[in-house]
Structure 1
Amino acid sequence: MQHWVRRMKVRNFIQSFDFDAAEMKTILELARKIKASPLGYRDYLHGRVAALIFEKPSTRTRVSFEAGYVSMGGHVIYLGPNDVKLGVREDIADMARSLSRYIDVAILRTFSHRAILEFARHFGKPVVNGLSDMEHPCQALSDFFTIQESLGGIKGKKIAYVGDGNNVCHSLLLTAARLGAQVVYATPKAHAPNPKIMQVVRHEAKRTGAKIQGFTSPAPAVRGADILYTDVWVSMGEESKAASKKEQFKDFQVNQALVRKAKKTVKIMHCLPAHRGEEITNEVLEGSNSIVFDQAENRLHVQKAILIYLSGSNVGRLHGVRSGT
């Protein structure tokens, strides 16, 4: 696990713990200002260039990063699955060292978390994790922005996650532990979160007072929940496991019967894309309690704040934001 917790000399956002709690709160506050007045940030990244290096195709991650960077005056180069194969066409180190001569920040979406760490080791400039097999930190930080926006804060609020103990779950738990939040998760026993991740989560939760609890059935997890969150059962790259996983997860669907076990005011979240009729029903996704598309929008604002924070020089100080470098 040492490869996962190692900190980089250059400030990156590769894993949730790359930011401490104070930094997370600074970024969330900056995101609130950006959302309220986006035109005030239209020149923050003028003259800068970002590369989106995606081994996996994406809709929301690509568009939210690209639109966000361009809207702040920067330029974006997209390298998709047909353009780049990390460690196949050439060594990751060679690619990173070459690209560092051309661009200011790299945003990677990869199958392997180790690949992002290796890239960052040789890139020497900010690297952002747009998704890996281990974490999805931008999603989690954005999710907490959405939760705060919807509920007015996280103190005393219960967040229930139902589904696969995957990268989204990992980052949600890590971010909750760092911020001192309460998250209760329910996964099939065979699909629980990574044990090494959970060691880190529990250690941090003891320090911050966060409340983290796991179940192997959804009903006790969602009882009295303020937030009910789910994700797809079959992630990209797991297509060969689809039939088996759907059978194992059939009792973990977020449907109206499960929603009724939470608070009447419970808010429904899903990081999308959704497989309607599998992990969540159409009725719940489109119901009055759903904040799924607010959640999707907020990726834009929070990622803009992250990019400003990591940009260094005088950019982060323009509105009193402490730079991450």
Structure 2
Amino acid sequence: MSIMQGGKLCLLQVGKCFSLASNTVIKRCASTGGTDLIGRHFLTLKDYNQSEIEHLLWTASDLKTRYKENKEVFQPLIGKSIAMIFQKRSTRTRLSTETGMSLLGGHAVFLGPDDIHLGVNESLQDSAKVLSRMTDVVLARVYGQSDLEELSKYSTVPIISGLSDMYHPLQILADFQTLQEHFGQLKGLKLAWVGDGNNVVHSFLMGCPKLGMDLNIATPKGYDVDPKVKEDAVTLVKQSGTSMNFTRDPMEAVAGTDVVITDTWISMGQEAESKKRIKDFMGYEVTKEMMAAAGPHAIFMHCLPRHKEEVSDEVFYDEKRSVVWQEAENRKWTVMAVMLNLLQQYMPLHPKPTF
């Protein structure tokens, strides 16, 4: 049974209301319980509050248990499809999204640079409108954050960031899941970032304060985090009561921390700068000595792909302290959590982890 009420169609039998406004993603205005993220875009953790991030992580943990441990066949997204736009290649983003959507019962369509030229042969606005009519959700791995924002402006289906030069929110969800699994909670952890002030650390800055984690950041001169991102992070830190420190000294950054994190020094599109960057990052390699300066139980993280100048083999392949493979696997469970929650309301079956 349904009635018109205040310009909205109310489905009384399930207690839901859906806006009839055109040119917008359909959004639920009354919830049946749990966290409702249906129709939201996922472009940056800046747009998500603590409870929403925790719900995505809870979903990821729940799905990992259901599929990996319990061997369940659970296909809530049968008949759904995702378009995957890749301006930049990626092993983990492509594999995690394709295999994750398949497990959920849906279908993934890969669109590489030879398949779609955003803003070149067709405007971003037109691409968004076409994709919206043929798929249920779009993941875009692009250079400019503005491209994601333009797609989301005109899309009537959720847009998920697979990475941009500014943010990499899917990676940070996987990192948070890995930290929760290893330490049993997130609140109170102290993280150290050693390396480039890039999209990955930008996403840590948007997420760590909301979940009660402190963050130290060591970057060489000329490779600082974006000033606007830093400004936003300072606001979040003040609101949360956490701490955030910036330094040029990697040893100072890692001192007494629980987690040491680095990333590639030469991202895609920066290959021409490789010699200069390797020189500028001298002293930033994560070594056994650097890990010894961290806390006695500190772990090492890297989102991959890894190059030897960034971290020694001794640290990278340390089975006790390096969690890079668990971190990589969790890319799958977290992107599944995002896709599922943006397409339908999901209440996990298993108890909520401690955050």
TM-score (norm 1): 0.92
Q: Which residue of 1 aligns with 2:326?
A: 294
| Matching residue's letter, 1:150 | H
Relative to structure 1, the CA distance from residue 318 to residue 261 in structure 2 (aligned partners, 3 Å threshold; closer, same or farther) is closer
The answer as to whether partners of 2:178 and 2:326 remain within 8 angstroms in 1 is yes
Match of 2:313 among 266, 278, 282: 282
Q: Which residue of 1 aligns with 2:56?
A: 27
* Matches of 1:29 and 1:99, distance apart in 2: 29
- The structure number with the bigger radius of gyration is 2
Relative to structure 1, the CA distance from residue 317 to residue 265 in structure 2 (aligned partners, 3 Å threshold; closer, same or farther) is closer
| Matching residue's letter, 2:66 | S
| Matching residue's letter, 1:34 | L
Relative to structure 1, the CA distance from residue 317 to residue 145 in structure 2 (aligned partners, 3 Å threshold; closer, same or farther) is closer
Give how far 1:257 is off: 1.5
- Structure 2 unmatched runs, 5+: 1-24, 28-38
Task: Select the structure that is richer in helix.
Answer: 1
CA offset digits 1:227-284 (Å, max 9, x no partner): 11100001000111111111010110001111111122211100000002x1111111
Matched residue of 1:81: which SS?
coil
| Matching residue's letter, 1:18 | D
The answer as to whether partners of 2:62 and 2:348 remain within 8 angstroms in 1 is no
The answer as to whether partners of 2:168 and 2:200 remain within 8 angstroms in 1 is yes
CA offset digits 1:281-314 (Å, max 9, x no partner): 11110013100000001111111111111113xx
CA RMSD, 1 decimal: 1.7
Match of 1:243 among 249, 257, 275: 275
Matched residue of 1:191: which SS?
coil
Match of 2:140 among 108, 113, 117: 108
The answer as to whether partners of 2:85 and 2:141 remain within 8 angstroms in 1 is yes
* Matches of 1:26 and 1:67, distance apart in 2: 22
Q: More displaced, 177-186 or 288-297?
A: 177-186
Q: Which residue of 2 aligns with 1:257?
A: 289
Are residue 152 (structure 1) and residue 184 (structure 2) matched? yes
CA offset digits 1:110-157 (Å, max 9, x no partner): 011100110111111111000000000011121111111111112222
Q: State percent identity of aligned pairs.
A: 37
Q: Which runs of 4+ in 1 moved over 2 A?
A: 39-42, 315-321
Matched residue of 1:101: which SS?
helix
| Matching residue's letter, 1:16 | L
Give how far 1:20 is off: 0.9
* Matches of 1:317 and 1:56, distance apart in 2: 33
| Matching residue's letter, 1:269 | M
Match of 1:13 among 42, 46, 50: 42
Q: More displaced, 10-19 or 249-258?
A: 10-19
Q: Which residue of 2 aligns with 1:316?
A: 346
Matched residue of 2:295: which SS?
coil
Matched residue of 2:246: which SS?
strand
The answer as to whether partners of 1:57 and 1:81 remain within 8 angstroms in 2 is no
Give how far 1:158 is off: 1.1
